[in-house]
Amino acid sequence: MDGTVKIRLTAPLSDGESNKALVGFLSEVLGVAPAKIDIIGGVSGNDKLISVLDIDKDEAQQRLLAYLG
């Protein structure tokens, strides 16, 4: 309801691997270039705030729901 999406990654937290994996996953699912995705909050934590350019909130939500099937 609040627009929160929970994604569980298998990449390790160290060395930013999980952040890279998250950006790659979102890029693929949302159909935007990785350069259009930015982690603007929680870079080193488990909870993250993501900004995605060139896609509106409703379209992003539809694509995520379609992926989840």
What residues does each domain of the chain span?
14-68
In 5-69, DSSP assigns E strands to 37-41, 49-52
What span, in angstroms and rounded, lies between the C-alpha atoms of 24 and 39?
12
The predicted structure's pLDDT at residue 12: 75
pLDDT in tens, 10-60: 877 777 888 999 999 999 999 999 999 999 998 888 888 999 999 998 899
Rounded to an integer, what is the distance from CA 30 to the centroid of its chain? Answer: 9
Q: How confident is the model at residue 5 (pLDDT cuts 50, 70, 90)?
A: confident
| Dihedral of alpha carbons 27, 31, 32, 38, sign | negative
CATH 3.30.1200.10 fits 14-68, yes or no: yes
Residue 8 or 29, more confident? 29
pLDDT at 1: 60
Query: How many helical (H) and strand (E) elements, i.e. helices and strands, does the chain have?
Result: 2, 2
